[in-house]
Amino acid sequence: MSRLPNPARLGILAVGLALARLGLVSEARARRATELAWPRIVTGLARMSKNAVDVAMVGVAVGSPAIAGVGIAGPFWGVAFAVGGGVAGGTIALVSQRYGADAYRGLGLAVRSSALLVVAVTVPITAGFFGFAPELVGLLSSDPAVIGFGGEYLRLVAFGIPFAGLNLVGSRTLVGADDAYTAMVLRGGGAALNVGINAVLIFGAGMGVTGAAIGTVFSNVCVTAAFAVGLAAGRVPGAGAFPVTVDPFGSYVDPATVSDLVTIGLPVMGRNLVWTVAEFPMFAILDVFGQDVVSAFVIARRVWGLLNTPGWGFGLAASSLVGQELGTGEEATAAAYGRDIIRFSVTVYALLAAAVFVFTDPVVALFVDDPTAPSVPLAGDLVRVACVAVVLRGIAGSAAGALDAAGDTRWPFFSQTLGVFGASIPLVYLGATTPLGIYGLYLAFFAETAVPAALNYYRFRSGVWKRVSRSYRPDAADD
């Protein structure tokens, strides 16, 4: 249940109630989905706004080479969310089903094992990025200024990768236990802290991309500490009580639990890595177009991230609510939640995208200090294309959330891989090497969303995921 009146909650709930009056969704399910989705959407907006503000601050303070450098370093930082999100995909599936079945001992074991896996995988990644940051950025750009800015940013921000992964595990634990609000307070607060620190370091101390990196690391450390205290003690001052507690001194390794986390989480990790990995060849191809196109693309992707925030909320709401019903064996109710959340999500996406489409020019202007720069009109066109294409994410993300709850994570991984590597990147390559030109980039935005939307929805409608879920369900008593 939400604890404070919030315009985002009221707006999303109004959409859900309107759909209910039209007979498209159940009012009760719309209300439950809203309570889980709106805090995560607000968190997503805060974090994506933070990313957008980082780029805007660096762009205003340093210029286009810094925008391109931070943008190219972004895929490497994205590894934290791909790895952490993969493990956390297993976390929310196990936590939601165990929470629904009141199997709390198994719930704590799932959380501890998830934390251990995240640390084990991300620490070596941090070491690699710190040691070879300029060389890694240099793989994607031949511009010395871009390599310099990107390398410095990546070298420092690498220290935040394990903490970012742990934050995802903590967040998914709370969402799986029906509490997205507390996760929003902690992660949204971390994003606000990040912006404040960046403003001081970038403009006050003149530290440029170095300041942006330090702010990101420090804020992630603070959020990790808050989750750790809350899960161990049951509450955090200022954030309230947690729905579950986890004994930090319990067992961290149980072969069956680790096996389930890896089996469920690896495809989620792969799905998250698809776009992160895809950005490497994407930026290499875009480098052919020149620095202005790279800068325009970075701006458009930051706006895309903001547009995609409904998927954060509705995807996790689907994972939690569908998972809880599966945990008690209510397969028909689980399917009804999935269906209603997909319809709800698409509608919210469409409304948000329409608003950004109307105000594209002032939105793009926030990222540059020179409104006459060559990258500005191109960025505007890319943002308008993104506004149309991103609506299909409402289908792809919500259907994937329902499949994730069942442990049926391979299918969304396959659909995302096909959409990006089988359609989106080839279209960008054709644009760079044929008369198709920039239109190849426009078409790539559509391909990236249309393919997974069609395939994930097909899998959801097939009902196979219900059968898959049976192998991951807990017993009614604590296991």
Task: For residue 479, tell me if it sits in a domain.
Answer: no
In the predicted model, what is the mean pLDDT of residues 215-225?
A: 91
- Per-chain mean pLDDT for the chain: 84
Report pLDDT for 474: 62
Contact 246, 60 (CB under 8 A): no
Contact 478, 103 (CB under 8 A): yes
Q: Which of 75-79, 110-114, 275-279 has the highest mean pLDDT?
A: 110-114
Confidence of residue 393 (pLDDT cuts 50, 70, 90): very high
Task: For residue 437, tell me if it sits in a domain.
Answer: yes
Confidence of residue 479 (pLDDT cuts 50, 70, 90): very low
Report pLDDT for 472: 74
Coarse DSSP helix, strand, coil percentages of the chain, rounded to the nearest 5 percent: 85, 0, 15
Task: For residue 2, tell me if it sits in a domain.
Answer: no
More confident residue, 203 or 118: 118
Task: For residue 236, tell me if it sits in a domain.
Answer: yes
In the predicted model, what is the mean pLDDT of residues 247-264?
A: 84
Task: For residue 115, tell me if it sits in a domain.
Answer: yes
Q: Residues 130-187: pLDDT tens digits?
A: 988 888 888 777 778 778 878 888 888 899 999 988 998 998 898 888 787 888 788 8
Say how many C-beta atoms besides its own lie within 10 A of residue 28's C-beta: 10
Q: What is the domain extent for residue 165?
A: 7-469
Q: Which of 12-26, 80-94, 290-304, 375-389 has the highest mean pLDDT?
A: 12-26
Report pLDDT for 473: 63
Helix (H) / strand (E) element for 376: namely: helix 375-389
Share of the chain above pLDDT 70, in %: 91
Confidence of residue 444 (pLDDT cuts 50, 70, 90): very high
Task: For residue 251, tell me if it sits in a domain.
Answer: yes
Give burial (CB, 10 Å; 0-12/13-18/19+) of 82: buried
pTM higher than 0.85, yes or no? no
- Cα–Cα distance list, 411 to 95, 275, 466 (Å): 21, 16, 13
> Does the structure show a pLDDT above 70 at 331?
yes
Task: For residue 478, tell me if it sits in a domain.
Answer: no
In the predicted model, what is the mean pLDDT of residues 394-416?
A: 90
Residue 23 per-residue DSSP state: T
d(CA 441, CA 270): 24
Contact 418, 455 (CB under 8 A): yes
In the predicted model, what is the mean pLDDT of residues 71-78?
A: 76
> Does the structure show a pLDDT above 80 at 105?
no
Contact 99, 240 (CB under 8 A): no
Give the type of residue at 432: A
* Counted domains in the chain: 1
Q: Which residues of 438-448 are buried (b: 16+ CB within 10 A; e: fewer)?
A: bebbbbbbbbb
Report pLDDT for 396: 94
